[in-house]
Structure 1
Amino acid sequence: MNLLTDDWIPVRPLGGGACQQITLQTLLCNGQRWLVALPRDDMEMATFQLLICLLQTLWMPSDAQQLIQRIRQPLSAGEFADGVAGWQQAFDLNHPQQPFMQVKGVAAKEVTGMDKLLVGLTGSTSGAFVNQPGQGKALCGGCTAIALFNQACNAPGFGGGFKSGLRGGSPVTTLVQGDCLRTTIWFNVLSETTLDQFCPGWREQRAQPFTWQQPIKKEEVIAGSSIGLARGLFWQPAHIKLSPPDGAGQCSACGRSASQRYCSFLKEKFNFTVNGLWLHPHSPLIQQIKKGQVEWRYMAFSTPAPSWTQIGRLLIEQQVNKQQEGRRVATTVGQARMLSGGRALRLMIGGYRNNQASIIERRHEVLQINHGWQHAMPVINEIVTLGLEYRKVLRTALWIFAEGAKESGIKGAGVALHEKVDAPYYRQSQARVLNLLAQIDFQSPLPQLAQFQTQQRQLCLQLFNDLSAPYAHHPKLICSLAQARRYLTSSLAKLQPQGEHIDGAAV
């Protein structure tokens, strides 16, 4: 199965219709608009990433003008042929010597089922997901290639002795969404001009072969800054080799008929070291000072909190100091800020929340931010800050009710209600925050911010009453409940609009 010539991209027509698999040429050269169509959202996100990396490698635009042209117009047959010339063998899943994202000669005592390539499908935490039985039994070539790429780039290693990708075990990926699959891919392909600005030195490393063409050496020590763009985008940290494919049948992952299916693979432990950071263009970075040293790490989902709580890290650049972390947005977002022309932003956010090699949660969301967002970072930051401040006040009030005041002899409920409030608070705030980000007038934001604050105040009072209601009539808890309610009321009053000027916005 060859990614450049065969039908493998899982799609359905934007206007409705049956799901099918199309070739890369059909996607890039045909004017028809498609959507990715797979049962799992993480596999859909990986499909976007894989296609973006292919286009970044084969059809990198020279500048913003050429990029905009490719967003607007499909490639010609000649442009497609020029792009794939000389690359066909590099993206062949069954290549006899250098198969795509695999290595030859893997020493394994037994084969591993394909379910291990579908992140979160097996293991002690698999019950956290809705998985169809037998989903990893036999995969078509397209799903196999997507799963290989996803495991290598977005997920933790297979366990002890297996390395994760260059961004760590569970990085957050941020991509700009277009109105169809083709435009979405091009929106996230970086021009040479953008790379010159954000990733100087990339040209000198451009000719590096992929890891399956020039494998990583055992115990090799590699400087992250020495890894070339294409080699890094398709980095394969694991020693994996697919078993020979079986005959025709239905793919257990996407449900489509396939002429051949992959049922197992070989894997072996393999050790090497990457020192320092490789700058991945699809992920935001966080910078911190620890013991006097500046450290970079890729953003990851470490709590169940929704993505809007992290929007500062996704959109706002910030210099590091002792009081605050440094931030660098994904290069894809940086390019979108320069090219958007004031238009609204639809940001695709994907990743996993993990505990070492175990996947706890799949996270794939879309945030839409209204036009003018490029110059409204203080307003965006204010929305997130308010959402988190109301949560903090509510949690503190419930903590006071739980703990009481021992120095005053006020008995607490002894039940950690503050630990139970996050889920309902975020659930009931989610749509409100997303609608506000999508609809707010960044030139005159105060009326909508005031309405948002009123709604959050009412939500806090409602959740406090709901959680404390079972204890409200207990004689020994009357004082602690009154104390907690007094704190809640006074703190909510302090959060109400005071007529401040939001720096950076015309109000």
Structure 2
Amino acid sequence: MFNLITFPWLPIRRASGLRSTIRPAQITETTDPIVALDWPRADFRVASLEFLIGLLATACPPEGHGAWREGWEAPPDPDALDAAFAPLAHAFNLDGQGPRFLQDLEDLVSDAEPIERLLIEAPGASTQRQNTDLLVHRGRIATLGRPAAAMALFTFQSWAPAGGAGNRTGLRGGGPMTTLVRPGDRPSLWQQIWANVPRGEIPGPEDLPRILPWLASSVTSEGARVVTPETAHPLQAWWGMPRRIRLDFSEGSATEPCGLTGAADAVQVRSWRQRPRGANYAGWGRVHPLTPHYALKAAAEYLPLHPQPGGVGYRHWLGLVVATPDGLRLPAKAIASWRDTREIDAGGGRARLLAAGYDMDNMKARAFVESEMPLPAAPDKAAREAMDALAARLVVSANQIAGLLRSAIRFALFSAGATVKLEAELLSTPRERLWEQTEPLFFALLQTPPDAAPLNWLTQLRRIALALFDEAAPMTPENGGAAPRISRARRNLVFALLGYGKEGAALFQTLGLPAVEAKPKTAKGKSA
């Protein structure tokens, strides 16, 4: 049997550049330390981090901050981790008789599907029948070795998208966003993992079937049954099993390569079977430590956040790094824990936030999104609160200016009454470029005295916004007929950026700048 605890199967890269495979307990090896997971797919790499964080959170979580700090400063050696993982090893067989990792306890009777369809972006049966697999073609991967099959299965069950009638989404919905702390400039793999492991208690053997659902008969969604943290166990957040799946294993030659990694494996996975009505998860908002959550209104259920096109940047600071003032958007617990207690003991440093996940359109994966942004450290709680307050001012004011810019361009280029969608490229592109061009300044200002930052911020954003307006709505002969509208739109934008009018007053209030005096009136009653 292929066991994911005792077998070396995780591809890694060491500090020297050497590539090899390890078993999970080897992540703390100090001779030529491991610095990265080495899958050829970004989704597998991020999912593997989730797998290892979840394994530690289940087998040997730190009971308090002191235990976490001890593990940061003096990681357990592989022998200690082997001992910690041993009580779970029987649940991590991928094949063979008995319970199989993340697979239905029953040998399902169903038609076999190509193993390629276990990859989230692969075209499904309906797409292939309609011959519409134009961007992601069928038939790219015919077989998977057992290591790649294990990670494909974990990725699919953890992030499962909608899959037609009765095929459930993952515990966090289809394609959830994962946010992780990447500590320091060159963190070891252990540091990347341990930075995100939540506090907890080691479960007893009697709890394992409620944590690792494949150890018992499947709790199906027949009769509107749901699985909640109360009916299961909160640690099942790491091991959700919304789909009833069985992998099909076949003997091959000892040198047969995996269709994804190229590594030889004498046993290959060419197909899998599934049955509908797997676990229907409900009420798991805010349980998973790696996912930010949001609520549509006060007292409403918190829902997992999902990636959107374009990745993440400082515009998402509120909700990904700190909670919004109304409490409707909350960062992942891993991010909050790092900033609240861990970053100081870890030496601060140049930590970064990694955000990743599938941008899904119902059952269709549009893209796998992966982005990073800095997580600036603060020397103490008071300094961090001041930095967070400044960050909120900068983000909200940038959003206000982006809205002013979009409105000005719309007024300049389109006549009154014209129907123009707000997401039209002519309007959205300058807005996106404003965010991109101001991101370096945002992170620079977070490391400066907060009193001078708002005026500096406004001065630079005013310059950038006007340059983007002039580029989008130039005063050229081709635009001669629109010249009056362009001129008026630019003038109104300038006035708002100087603090005049309702929008300008709101902008200055956000930044904490003193209100400006009203513009003097001319003899005809118009503003000068």
TM class, shorter-chain normalised?
0.7 to 0.9
1:356, CA displacement in angstroms? 0.9
Aligned match of 1:409: none
C-alpha change, 1:475 and 1:422, in structure 2 (3 Å) is closer
Please give the per-residue CA displacement for 1:456-494, whole angstroms capped at 9, x wherever unaligned: 333323332333349753443222222222222222333
Q: Contact 1:11–1:36 at 8 Å: present in 2 too?
A: yes
Aligned match of 1:199: none
Aligned-partner residue type, residue 287 of structure 1: A
Q: 1:420 is paired with a residue of what secondary structure?
A: helix
Aligned-partner residue type, residue 297 of structure 2: I
Moved more, 436-445 or 243-252: 436-445
C-alpha change, 1:245 and 1:469, in structure 2 (3 Å) is farther
Q: 1:347 aligns with which of 338, 347, 353?
A: 353
The answer as to 2:319 corresponding to 1:317 is no
Q: Contact 1:152–1:237 at 8 Å: present in 2 too?
A: yes
Aligned match of 2:521: none
Q: Distance in 1 between matches of 2:168 and 2:122?
A: 19
The answer as to 2:117 corresponding to 1:116 is yes
Q: Distance in 1 between matches of 2:250 and 2:454?
A: 57
Aligned match of 1:240: 245
Q: 1:226 aligns with which of 213, 224, 231?
A: 231
Q: 2:495 is paired with a residue of what secondary structure?
A: helix
The answer as to 2:83 corresponding to 1:82 is yes
1:365, CA displacement in angstroms? 1.3
Aligned match of 1:60: 61
Q: Contact 1:379–1:442 at 8 Å: present in 2 too?
A: no
C-alpha change, 1:367 and 1:128, in structure 2 (3 Å) is farther
Please give the per-residue CA displacement for 1:213-249, whole angstroms capped at 9, x wherever unaligned: 1233331333343331332310110011111144242
Aligned match of 1:335: 337
Q: 1:255 is paired with a residue of what secondary structure?
A: coil
Q: Distance in 2 between matches of 1:305 and 1:451?
A: 27
Q: 1:27 is paired with a residue of what secondary structure?
A: helix
C-alpha change, 1:388 and 1:213, in structure 2 (3 Å) is same
Please give the per-residue CA displacement for 1:286-322, whole angstroms capped at 9, x wherever unaligned: 12337xx622211223454634322211122357xxx
Q: Distance in 1 between matches of 2:484 and 2:423?
A: 17
Aligned match of 1:211: 213
Mapping of residues 429-448 of structure 1, within 5 Å: 429-430=435-436, 432-433=438-439, 435-436=440-441, 438-442=443-447, 444-445=449-450, 447=452
Q: Contact 1:29–1:74 at 8 Å: present in 2 too?
A: no
1:172, CA displacement in angstroms? 1.4
- TM score, norm. by length of structure 2: 0.81
1:257, CA displacement in angstroms? 3.3
Aligned match of 2:182: 177
Q: Distance in 2 between matches of 1:30 and 1:432?
A: 41
1:114, CA displacement in angstroms? 2.2
Q: Distance in 2 between matches of 1:374 and 1:145?
A: 41
Q: Contact 1:400–1:480 at 8 Å: present in 2 too?
A: yes
Q: Distance in 2 between matches of 1:472 and 1:463?
A: 19
Aligned match of 1:198: none
Q: 2:373 aligns with which of 327, 351, 367?
A: 367
Aligned match of 2:522: none
Q: 2:47 is paired with a residue of what secondary structure?
A: helix
1:421, CA displacement in angstroms? 3.8
The answer as to 2:194 corresponding to 1:186 is yes
Aligned match of 1:379: 390
Aligned match of 1:484: 489
Aligned match of 2:468: 463
- TM score, norm. by length of structure 1: 0.84
Moved more, 418-427 or 388-397: 418-427
Please give the per-residue CA displacement for 1:105-142, whole angstroms capped at 9, x wherever unaligned: 4545432222222222336697667x9x8653322222
1:264, CA displacement in angstroms? 1.6
Q: Contact 1:98–1:104 at 8 Å: present in 2 too?
A: yes
Q: Contact 2:309–2:369 at 8 Å: present in 1 too?
A: no
Aligned match of 2:518: none
Mapping of residues 188-203 of structure 1, within 5 Å: 188-192=196-200
The answer as to 2:18 corresponding to 1:10 is no
C-alpha change, 1:11 and 1:430, in structure 2 (3 Å) is farther
1:24, CA displacement in angstroms? 1.6
Q: Distance in 2 between matches of 1:352 and 1:303?
A: 10
Q: Distance in 2 between matches of 1:327 and 1:414?
A: 30
Aligned match of 2:276: 269
Q: Contact 1:413–1:477 at 8 Å: present in 2 too?
A: no
C-alpha RMSD of the superposition: 3.4
The answer as to 2:288 corresponding to 1:283 is no
Q: Distance in 2 between matches of 1:38 and 1:209?
A: 27
Q: Distance in 2 between matches of 1:500 and 1:232?
A: 39
Q: Contact 2:413–2:473 at 8 Å: present in 1 too?
A: no
Mapping of residues 32-51 of structure 1, within 5 Å: 32-51=33-52
Task: List gaps (5 residues or longer) in structure 2.
Answer: 514-528
C-alpha change, 1:470 and 1:297, in structure 2 (3 Å) is same
Q: Contact 1:135–1:253 at 8 Å: present in 2 too?
A: no
Q: 2:150 is paired with a residue of what secondary structure?
A: helix
Q: Contact 2:160–2:168 at 8 Å: present in 1 too?
A: no
Q: Distance in 2 between matches of 1:364 and 1:415?
A: 28
Q: Distance in 1 between matches of 2:241 and 2:421?
A: 48
User: Identity rate of aligned residues, in percent?
Assistant: 20
Please give the per-residue CA displacement for 1:368-408, whole angstroms capped at 9, x wherever unaligned: 122217322111212322332222111111221243346xx
Moved more, 208-217 or 303-312: 303-312
Structure exhibiting the larger radius of gyration computed from Cα positions: 2
C-alpha change, 1:419 and 1:85, in structure 2 (3 Å) is same
Q: Distance in 1 between matches of 2:259 and 2:468?
A: 43
Moved more, 236-245 or 338-347: 338-347
